[in-house]
Chains A and B, each alone.
Chain A
Amino acid sequence: AQKVTQAQTEISVVEKEDVTLDCVYETRDTTYYLFWYKQPPSGELVFLIRRNSFDEQNEISGRYSWNFQKSTSSFNFTITASQVVDSAVYFCALKEDQAGTALIFGKGTTLSVSS
């Protein structure tokens, strides 16, 4: 069965610190897709990134970077030089190619960045 684990429930950092949010997934499928979403205090869910299982190249977008490692079934998210606006709940999600159409979410990590 597919599963997504975000072991860090809450993380607190001070502005300008780097922070990594962990995501570990389980799947039997060889083709699958991984996602990260951000939920700021206003409550909406904002899509950040999608990765497929054949693309292990790391991604960088500004202060955000993602490290995909199939060998450890992990898709970790790093924020460099964190800012107060990064305070949010971050969700990792998985979609298997052969198992339905919906995203399966982890329980989320609440990131608090203080000034």
Chain B
Amino acid sequence: DAGITQSPRYKITETGRQVTLMCHQTWSHSYMFWYRQDLGHGLRLIYYSAAADITDKGEVPDGYVVSRSKTENFPLTLESATRSQTSVYFCASTPIPAGYNGYTFGSGTRLTVV
């Protein structure tokens, strides 16, 4: 199905482990984003990408790594997970910034670090 898919939907990991959250979109949108949602903070930008092989930091990038070797995929890696990274993570995409149809979000990944 066309759309933006995040996997896994739920993940529990231990402190110090590396974990990768996947994001795949089928529209060939140029722009992709990773946000985290925490109570009291709303959604905060972690990283974004304007095209394949072009990525940049957002508001809260520490402890995260991204890559974008293909337009359709934008994985987010927590190199050494910490409890403070327990959150709901959303991936989003858009063909152009501030387009009429807004930014489309995936269903989210709920990550718990124990």
Contact of B42 with A101 in the complex, beta carbons under 8 Å? no
Interface check B90, CB cutoff 8 A = yes
CA distance A101 to B92 in the complex (A): 12
B58 to chain A, nearest CB (A): 6
Interface-lining segment among A60-68, A69-77, A105-113 = A105-113
Residues of A close to B16: CB separation below 8 A: none
**Is the Cβ of A101 less than 8 Å from the Cβ of B105?**
no
Contact between B42 and A33, CB atoms less than 8 A apart: no
Is the CB of A14 closer than 8 A to any CB of chain B? Answer: no
Whether the pair A107, B97 counts as a contact (CB closer than 8 A) is no
- Is B43 within 8 A of A101, CB to CB? no
Q: How far is the CA of A101 from the CA of B103 in the complex (A)?
A: 10
What are the residues of chain B within 8 A of A35 when measuring CB–CB?
102-103
CB-defined contacts of A47 to chain B, threshold 8 Å: 101-104
Which residues of B sit under 8 angstroms from A45, Cβ to Cβ?
90, 92, 105
Residue of A nearest to B98 (CB): A33
> CA–CA, A44 to B58, complex, Å?
21
Tell me which residues across on chain A come within 8 A of B45, comparing CB atoms: 102-104
The 5 A-B residue pairs whose C-beta atoms are closest, nearest first, are: A47-B102, A107-B42, A33-B98, A101-B97, A45-B105
Give the interface of A toward B (CB within 8 A). Answer: 6, 33, 35, 37, 43-45, 47, 50, 52, 91, 95, 97, 100-108
